[in-house]
Amino acid sequence: MKVSSQKLPFVPRLEALRGVAAISVVAYHAVGQFVDTNVTGMAPVVMFFVLSGFVLARSLANDHRPLEFLQHRVFRLLPAATAVVLLLTALYLSFGFYVGFRPSFDPLNVTLNALMIRHDINGVMWSMTVECFATPVILGSVWIYRGCGSARLWMLIAFLFALSFWGPYVHLLGGFSNLAPLYAFVVGVLLHFRGEAFYKSLSPANCAVFTIIAAAMLGTCGIRKQTTLVIALECIGSAMIVGLIAFKAAAAWLRLLDFSAIRFFGRVSYSFYLLHVIGMSLALRLIADGVDFRVKIFAEFTLAVAITTPMAWLSWRFIEKPFIALGRALDTHSRVSRPTFDHREHDIPPTIATEKRSVH
């Protein structure tokens, strides 16, 4: 397949989508603290898997070097995740503080968590374990498209979808991880390569209909038991939303994603996601007993966002940004003759843990 040499631009609204997700993570978890529900929040997880496949395919389109791609991924993701695991380890050893179910803090388990191989110290990192597992899938999908076209990608999506009915595959990575929506990454790659022409052909009226259908699909499926078919519908709805954001800039509702506050949370969303469990635990300690559960949910949400936000900014400013710069500096190829990664679109978006977690 012919690959364009033109550098693809950064899409600010995709970053803003992460800001919306960062806030929704806390909202889902706040409800789960005080309401007995089977709702797991998998719909946003599926959306961010689609988004990950899309933006990483764009990164590879801008820079075709797989080794540098992997190097940048490591320097983008690992330092902040390791720092949070070490922080939680220090808090446990000093104060007995932990989140979720009490894990082992022996050196081996801490190391495996810091490398995102395991995720029992910070359970919400299960989705990052899946993201790391999906990295070669994304690379392979881009390679397949360039060599064989979209038909082979559809075959890969169908194969992974069929596997999602098989329990041993779904729980292959252990812990809270779930491989059922792995094909969503491939859908994101396919959307990058084949979506623009379709979305450019949509009239404003059709865009509005698409938006309503996608929102209804995600809203309805998000409160259902997460069966294999429900996850597939969430993947379709997610691809519709991501495609609209990426290719239909004139859609009126997308202006909501231009607010600076949402963009701010988009920038710090990775650290926000990693740290929000600490913010929620501290917020829970500040809420008085004996008040209505709806007041508790609102208070938990508000306090958790307020506590987590400055921690996330500090992590973004003093861990994420310096290590991203270091990853670029270690590149062994010329930065003049070849395009570089835009790491604003290269981030892993926050996702929502599918288990209900207690905080201590």
- Say how far apart CA 122 and CA 19 lie, in whole Å: 21
- CA dist list (Å): 310 to 34, 313, 360: 25, 5, 21
Phi/psi class of residue 169: alpha, beta or left (left: φ > 0; alpha: ψ in -120 to 50)?
alpha
- Say how far apart CA 181 and CA 235 lie, in whole Å: 8
**What pLDDT is stored for residue 6 in this prediction?**
61
pTM: 0.87
Cα four-point dihedral sign 186, 222, 125, 328: positive
- Say how far apart CA 188 and CA 160 lie, in whole Å: 14
**What pLDDT is stored for residue 332 in this prediction?**
56
Phi, psi torsion values for 9, nearest 5 degrees? -80, 155
**What pLDDT is stored for residue 89 in this prediction?**
97
CB 54 within 8 A of CB 184: no
**What pLDDT is stored for residue 39 in this prediction?**
65
* 57-98 pLDDT per residue, tens: 988 877 778 888 888 889 999 999 999 999 999 999 999 999
The strand pairing partners of 359, in sequence order, are 99
- Say how far apart CA 66 and CA 86 lie, in whole Å: 30
The strand pairing partners of 99, in sequence order, are 359
Give the up-direction half-sphere exposure of residue 126: CA atoms within 13 A in the CB hemisphere. Answer: 21
**What pLDDT is stored for residue 354 in this prediction?**
37
CB 124 within 8 A of CB 273: yes
Nearest alpha-carbon partner for 34 in 290, 348, 350: 290
Report, as ranges of residue numbers, the positions in the chain whose pLDDT lies below 50. Answer: 1-3, 334, 336-360
**What pLDDT is stored for residue 69 in this prediction?**
84
Other beta carbons within 10 angstroms of residue 206's beta carbon come to 12
